[in-house]
Structure formats: C-alpha cells, structure tokens
C-alpha cells in the first residue's frame, strides 16, 4: 500500500511540477484511443505499476490540461494539490457524508464551509446549503427548491425569466424539472450583456396579464461568455416587489466574493433566495466541488426530506443530515478539500489568487490594446476578456475558429471562442493564479502567428 501510494504521489507531483513547461495537452480521435479501452478487464492481475503506465500513456497523454497555466478555454480548473490530497483522504476513509449518524464530523465541517461561503456572499444566517457535484446540479437543486416554495410543485402556467446570456445548465435543469420550453423567458441584454430590467418587467407584466404564473428570475453573478454581472440589486428589489424567487447562478463568478475586490463587483448577490457557486472553478478545488445556498434552509428540507423506515435511527438525531438537503443519500465528502486547502494556505492566499485572476484579464486586455490588429469585444471583467482580429480578411468567423483549432493542435496555449452579437470572438478566461504575465504575452504572440499564417 505504501509503495504504490508513494509512487502515485510522485506521479502527481511530477505532473504538477512540469506542467508550466510542457504542452497544454491534446485531444485524440476516437479511432485511436477507443479500442485501447474497449476490452473486458483481465481475469488475472495486471499489477498496479503496469496499469499506471497505461493511464499515463492512454488517458493522461490524451488530455487537455485544464489546470495548465496557459489553459484559458471555457472555465479553467486550476485545482490545488492539497485539495487533491483531501480527496484521497475522503476516499481512503470512505467517509459517508449523508447523515449525522454516520458522518457527524463531516456534516459539521460541511456546515462550517457552507456558512462561511454564505457569509462571503452576503447571505443571512438563516441560509443553508449543500455541496454538490458542480454548478449544473447546484442550479437544478436550487430551482427544485424554488419550484417547491413558489409553486408547491404545480407547474401549470408557471413562467421563469433569465437573460439570453444565462448558462445552458439552467435550461437543462428546468427541462429535467418538468418545465416546457414555452414556460421559459429569455430576456434581452443591454450593451454590456447584462439582463435588461425594462425587458424583464415587460415580460413579467405581459405574462401576468395573460393569466400565467411568473415564479422565478435567474440572475447571473458572472456569465460564462463575458463575466457580465446582472443588475442584481435591481433584480432583488423587483423580485421582492413581485413576490418572485431570485436564483443567482454564481457558478462562474460568485466565489470571487471571497476577495474584497471580487465582492465589490457583485453587489446585491446576498439578496438572492438561492445561489449556486462552484468551488471547483474560482476557489481552485479539484472537480467535483459545487455548492448551492438557500436563504431559508428549512425550504431545502421541505423540498428534499423523506424519512423511510431504514433511516429511522438517523432521524432520531436532531441534527443536520445532509441527505435531507439535496438529492443524494450516499455522498462523497466534498467540503473537505475546500476546508483542508483553506486551512493549509490560509484565506488570504485565496483572496490573492482571486485578485490575480482579475488582474490577468486586465493585463491581457492592455496587451491586446497595445498591439495592432486586435479589437476588444468585451472588456476584462471577472477575469474574462473577449476580442477579435481586425481586419480579418476572408471569412472572419472561420478565421477565429481556425485559430482556436490551430492553438489546440499546437499545444502551447489553449483558448476557445464564443459568439457575441452574432460574431465569433476569441475569449481568454484567466482564473489560474499560476499564469504569469509572460504566459499571456507569449500566448498573444502565438495568436498573432496563427492569425497571420491562416489569413
């Protein structure tokens, strides 16, 4: 056990130490790697070392490293080593984080982390929460509470509102929860990609006039596309007046509230009835570490708690049983990684790392503006900047998509594109605190190289 354990640690540490000087990784054609795994497991032992070599050669060598300091695509997953060790401890002890009965310490630690996140986000003491796999499940869980609290689960004629920049996980959650597409209202944004309040008010009024039942508004604390923050204070006032539930999707940006600077960018977030956040993004945790908070913890219990006979001994303990607050009974101990890394590094290191992400996008924007041939399409906000090559010649959209593809093949740095106002733009998401200014400069050099080559 010790030998293969130490070997595994060496394997991980070698990866992390060499990450910045190696390629961002590769994707691979199915024809190349599917056959390597389309096999029944061996009857006789292969042995740990041989299997580890297979993992290195066939899995990890065909991975794009989202923790690489020059991975700027989608939302990076910087991760952290102490968090990874916490996952090993949680697995090694196979801690059951579903009930107080079996996991009192784990439940208490998780509650402590939920309460801390709630305070960081400006939520009141009545707030409850639960760690889940990620933002998608956080959104779905929170919207299930909203459905219960606002509609008593009667969905006929109920309508829900969110900006056209809202993450697709919200739409998917609503689909799974049983809402039809006709019950979803996509509200237009202003020039800065924030939900338009007049458009929201109009849509709600129209629906009420038509005899429908508006019940919820979803706001963004940092959109995935541009980092835009919806006008949350106005939305909170509106939803209070209209007796609607305000859910805030902070899966991308809410964690920034841990830092002073980040919190100043997220006014009104604490007025949400529910809030999703993703410590596996901007709080640097290994996947899967998401969380949702609900202003009135009792509503979570009303939504999710069921008391079967075989758990009667559990419910004799008048304590918090995590299984009563979400859809999982057996749960891995996700809060441990956040707790252990906060203890090890201290909260100040996290604040600094968040601020570093904010600064890196601003640095990238300055560098792009100082060079010829780049147009900023969405200025740096919440560690995201979007930009475009101009003049691009030929088919500009195709050029930008080809640049992304060439960068992926090249492996020096990885970024992705998105669409803004009907045009393809390049996008850098800079939440990895291990990224250097030099990484940004060399990445833009590389973009210029491919832009010239492909033009």
Ligand X SMILES: *Cc1c(COP(=O)(O)O)cnc(C)c1O
Residue 290 engages ligand X in binding (rule: CB under 6 A): yes
CB-wise, 33 or 184, nearer to ligand X?
184
CB-wise, 69 or 290, nearer to ligand X?
290
Can you tell me which of 134, 214, 219, 279 binds ligand X, judged by CB under 6 A? 134
Residues 387-426 that bind ligand X (CB under 6 A): none
Considering only 130-138, 152-160, 203-211, 326-334, which stretch makes contact with ligand X by CB under 6 A?
130-138
Rounded to a whole number of angstroms, the minimum distance from the CB of residue 245 to ligand X is 17
DSSP 20-33: GGS--B----HHHH
Decide if 357 contacts 331 (C-beta within 8 A): no
Q: Which residues of 97-131 are buried (b: 16+ CB within 10 A; e: fewer)?
A: bbbbbebeebbebbbebbbebbebbbbeeebbbbb
Can you tell me which of 252, 282, 284, 387 binds ligand X, judged by CB under 6 A? 252
Q: Please say whether the dihedral angle defined by the alpha carbons of residues 49, 51, 52 and 56, taken in this order, is positive or negative.
A: positive
Distance CA 382, CA 366 (A): 15
Rounded to a whole number of angstroms, the minimum distance from the CB of residue 243 to ligand X is 25
DSSP secondary structure code for residue 285 in this structure: P
Distance CA 288, CA 91 (A): 13
The whole-angstrom distance between residue 441's C-alpha and the CA centroid of its chain comes to 26
CB-wise, 247 or 446, nearer to ligand X?
247
Decide if 232 contacts 221 (C-beta within 8 A): yes
Binding residues for ligand X, total number by CB under 6 A: 13
Residues whose CB is less than 8 angstroms from the CB of residue 336 and which lie 6 or more positions away in sequence, other chains included: 86, 87, 89, 90, 95, 106, 109
Considering only 134-142, 311-319, 363-371, 404-412, which stretch makes contact with ligand X by CB under 6 A?
134-142
CB-wise, 321 or 427, nearer to ligand X?
427
Residues 186-245 that bind ligand X (CB under 6 A): 224
* Residue-level length of the chain: 455
Rounded to a whole number of angstroms, the minimum distance from the CB of residue 166 to ligand X is 8
Can you tell me which of 87, 278, 324, 332 binds ligand X, judged by CB under 6 A? 278
Rounded to a whole number of angstroms, the minimum distance from the CB of residue 23 to ligand X is 24
Can you tell me which of 123, 130, 160, 251 binds ligand X, judged by CB under 6 A? 251
**Could you tell me if residue 179 is left (phi over 0), alpha (psi between -120 and 50 degrees) or otherwise beta?**
beta
Rounded to a whole number of angstroms, the minimum distance from the CB of residue 190 to ligand X is 18
CB-wise, 224 or 328, nearer to ligand X?
224
Residues 45-104 that bind ligand X (CB under 6 A): 75
Classify 324 as helix, strand or coil.
helix
Instruction: Draw the binding track, 135-174, toward ligand X (x: CB under 6 A; -: no contact).
Output: xx--x---------------------------x-x-----
Q: How far is CA 214 from CA 145, 159, 185, 255, in A?
A: 15, 4, 10, 29
Residues whose CB is less than 8 angstroms from the CB of residue 355 and which lie 6 or more positions away in sequence, other chains included: 259, 261, 262
Rounded to a whole number of angstroms, the minimum distance from the CB of residue 282 to ligand X is 10
Considering only 7-15, 131-139, 174-182, 203-211, which stretch makes contact with ligand X by CB under 6 A?
131-139
CB-wise, 99 or 381, nearer to ligand X?
381
Rounded to a whole number of angstroms, the minimum distance from the CB of residue 286 to ligand X is 12
Classify 290 as helix, strand or coil.
strand
Q: Please say whether the dihedral angle defined by the alpha carbons of residues 245, 246, 248 and 254, taken in this order, is positive or negative.
A: negative
Rounded to a whole number of angstroms, the minimum distance from the CB of residue 250 to ligand X is 7
Residue ranges that bind ligand X, judged by CB under 6 A? 75, 134-136, 139, 167, 169, 224, 249, 251-252, 278, 290
């Amino acid at each position: 056990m010790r030998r293969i354990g130490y070997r595994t640690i060496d394997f991980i540490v070698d990866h992390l130490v060499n990450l910045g000087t190696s390629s961002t990784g590769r994707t691979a054609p199915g024809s190349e790697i599917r056959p390597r795994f389309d096999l029944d497991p061996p009857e006789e032992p292969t042995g740990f070392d041989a299997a580890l070599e297979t993992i290195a050669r066939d899995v990890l060598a065909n991975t794009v490293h989202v923790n690489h300091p020059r991975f700027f695509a989608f939302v990076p997953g910087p991760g952290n080593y102490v968090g990874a060790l916490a996952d090993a401890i949680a697995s090694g002890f196979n801690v059951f984080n579903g009930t107080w009965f079996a996991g009192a310490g784990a439940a208490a630690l998780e509650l402590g982390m939920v309460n801390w996140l709630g305070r960081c986000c400006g939520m009141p003491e009545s707030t409850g929460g639960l760690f889940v796999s990620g933002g998608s499940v956080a959104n779905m869980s929170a919207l299930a509470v909203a459905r219960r609290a606002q509609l008593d689960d009667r969905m006929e004629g109920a309508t829900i509102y969110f900006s056209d920049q809202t993450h697709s996980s919200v739409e998917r959650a609503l689909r799974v929860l049983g809402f039809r597409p006709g019950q979803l209202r996509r509200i237009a944004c202003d020039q800065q990609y924030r939900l338009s309040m007049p458009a929201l008010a109009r849509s709600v009024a129209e629906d009420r006039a038509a005899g429908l039942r508006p019940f919820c508004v979803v706001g963004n604390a940092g959109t995935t596309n541009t980092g835009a923050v919806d006008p949350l204070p106005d939305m909170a006032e509106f939803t209070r007046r209209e007796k609607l539930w305000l859910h805030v999707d902070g899966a991308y940006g809410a964690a920034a509230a841990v830092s002073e600077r980040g919190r100043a960018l997220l006014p009104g977030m604490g007025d949400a009835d529910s809030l999703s956040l993703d410590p596996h993004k901007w709080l640097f945790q290994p996947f899967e570490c998401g969380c949702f908070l609900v202003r009135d913890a009792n509503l979570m219990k009303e939504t999710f708690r069921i008391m079967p006979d075989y758990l009667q001994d559990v419910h004799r303990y008048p304590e918090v049983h995590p299984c009563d607050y979400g859809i999982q009974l057996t749960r891995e101990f996700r809060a441990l990684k956040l707790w252990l890394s906060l203890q090890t590094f201290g909260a100040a290191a996290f604040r600094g790392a968040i601020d570093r992400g904010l600064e890196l996008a601003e640095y990238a924007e300055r560098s792009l503006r100082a060079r010829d041939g780049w147009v900023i399409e969405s200025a740096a906000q919440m560690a995201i900047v979007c930009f475009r090559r101009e003049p691009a010649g030929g088919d500009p959209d195709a050029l930008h998509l080809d640049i992304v593809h060439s960068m992926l093949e090249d492996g020096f740095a990885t970024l992705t594109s998105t669409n803004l106002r009907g045009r393809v733009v390049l996008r850098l998401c800079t939440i990895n605190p291990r990224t250097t200014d030099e990484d940004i400069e060399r990445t833009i050099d590389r973009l210029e190289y491919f832009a010239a080559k492909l033009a």
